[in-house]
Amino acid sequence: MTRTHFHDDHTMIVKDRTSAYQPRKGGGLRVSIPVFDTYGATSLFTTVEDMAKWDQNFVDQKVGGEAVMAQMLTPGVLNNGKKLTYAFGLAVGEYKGLKTVGHGGADAGYRSDFIRFPDQRLSLVCLCNFSRSNPGCLHAASPISIWPINSSPNRPK
C-alpha cells in the first residue's frame, strides 16, 4: 500500500490527487476539499489499487496476523450486553442474507464505500469525488444485487 496515508498537511502536494466537487449555488461546480490538518475520522488518502491490497489482507493476514484480523471483525458489546454492528473500525452485518464487512466515509466533496462479502470472496470499493454521490447506493446497483436466486450457499437469498 504505497499510495495510502493519513493526510495531516493540507498544503502538501499529492501526486495524482483528484479534487472533489460540489454544486455551486446558481449552477456549476466548485472545488470542495478538506483544508484542515486533522486525521483519524477523516483525511485517509488511498487508491483503488491500495484498497485491493488491504482487502486481500483479510484473506492472507500478512499484516497484523490472525489475532489482529479477528479483533478487527469482533463487534463491540455495550455494558448492558447488547452487541453492536460496529467492530474495530468496520461495520459487520448482512446484505440479502450474506455476511458483510465494510465501511463508508464522507468529507467535503469526497465519498467512499467499501463492502466485503467474505464467504463469497467478493469485495466492492467505490471512491467518489462529488458531494452528492452515494457510493452505498452504487453498490446496491452492482452485480451482487442481481445474482440469480438459487440453492447455492454462495448466492444471495
Q: What is the per-residue pLDDT across 84-129, written as a single tens digit (0 to 9) for each?
A: 999 998 999 998 888 999 999 998 899 999 999 999 888 989 999 9
- Count how many residues are written for the chain: 157
- How is residue 3 written as a grid cell? 499510495
- How is residue 9 written as a grid cell? 498537511
pLDDT at 28 over 90: yes
Mean pLDDT of 42-67: 92
Angle 23-10-51 (CA atoms, 0-180°, nearest 5)?
80
pLDDT at 153 over 70: no
pLDDT at 32 over 50: yes
pLDDT in tens, 3-26: 988 888 888 888 888 889 999 999
- Residue 115's pLDDT is 92
- Residue 106 Cα distances to 46, 82, 109, 113, 147, angstroms: 14, 28, 7, 9, 28
- Residue 136's pLDDT is 83
Please state the pTM of the whole predicted model: 0.80
Please give the mean pLDDT across all residues of the chain: 86
What proportion of the chain, given as a percentage, has pLDDT over 70? 88
